[in-house]
Amino acid sequence: LAVTQSDETNMFSCMAAKAIKPDIQTVARIRDHEYIFKTEPSGAYLGADHIISPELLTAEKMARIALLENAVDYEELESMGLMVVTFMVKKEHTSVLGEAVINLNLPDLASIVAIYRGDDVIVLNESTHLREGDLVCVMGKKEGIEQFNRMMGMVREAKDFVILGGGIIGRRIAKLLEKEKSYVRLLERDENKCHALSREFDHVLVINANAVDPRALRAENVGAADVLISATNSDEKNLLA
């Protein structure tokens, strides 16, 4: 298991281990998606049997939650083509609040699999009435999940996104949102990194600015955006922004 902070070290360790013992199982932690490519006819990765990228998984989760107004958690079952998304019931969700699960007009491609209420887990009880604060776990296809989000009620569909931080996570989120044909602005403090990022995107506006400077946020009219995503390398900056 190669889990150092260096992608290069992790890949080299796996390759070296394979040279010593070809049938050994190797797992590498890779941060940068540029290192994730398959070279073997079998579909194996270069040097590693399995690759885990926490940063790319985090970016995927953040982008999906940003696109689903009522979602608070997101997981993807990639091999089955399904999503497992947790939605929170709030007082403004009048279309579902107080309704029994059996009476909900659920999308064809989505199903409620559990309801979390405090410390209790309610599974497959269609007589359960939804209350404010309930966490509703839904499994389904992408279209079904989006329809469930709309069924709960939306203030407005998220189209205008501001991303703070042009690191691995911020860059990946921008790529995912760009595919959704959203209006995306990415703020990065490092000018050289901004030049490199601007060459990567066709429809993302890259801005050289300090993410925690209120003047910069006002200048970019962050208050008019639908979603702000803080993805810098600093927890303090993310919370402060």
Backbone angles phi, psi at 84, to 5 degrees: -120, 110
Q: Does the pLDDT value for residue 33 go beyond 80?
A: no
pLDDT confidence bin for 44, thresholds 50/70/90: low
Please determine, for residue 144, whether its predicted confidence score (pLDDT) is greater than 80.
yes
- pLDDT of 216 reads 87
pLDDT, one tens digit per residue, over 166-209 is 999 999 999 999 998 889 999 999 999 999 999 999 999 999 99
**Separation of alpha carbons 31 and 35, rounded Å:** 8
Question: Residue 107's CB: how many other CB atoms inside 10 A?
Answer: 19
Global confidence as pTM: 0.80
Write down the pLDDT at residue 17. 95
Residue 156 pLDDT grade (very low, low, confident, very high; cuts 50, 70, 90)? confident
**In the structure, what pLDDT confidence band is assigned to residue 220 with cuts at 50, 70 and 90?**
confident
- pLDDT value at residue 36: 67
For 235, phi then psi, to 5°, come to -60, -40
Rounded distance between C-alpha atoms, residue 188 and residue 79, angstroms:
35
Q: What are the pLDDT digits (tens) for 57-67?
A: 899 999 999 99
What is the per-residue DSSP string for the chain? -B-SS-HHHHHHHHHHHHHH-TT---EEE--SGGG--B-STT--BSS-SEEE-HHHHHHHHHHHHHHSTTEEEEEEEGGGTEEEEEEE--TT-TTTTT-BGGGS---TTEEEEEEEETTEEE-S-TTPBP-TT-EEEEEE-HHHHHHHHHHH--SS---EEEEE--SHHHHHHHHHHHHTT-EEEEEES-HHHHHHHHHH-SSEEEEE--TT-HHHHHHTTGGG-SEEEE--S-HHHHHH-
At residue 42, the pLDDT reads 55
| pLDDT tens column, 115-130 | 999 999 998 788 899 9
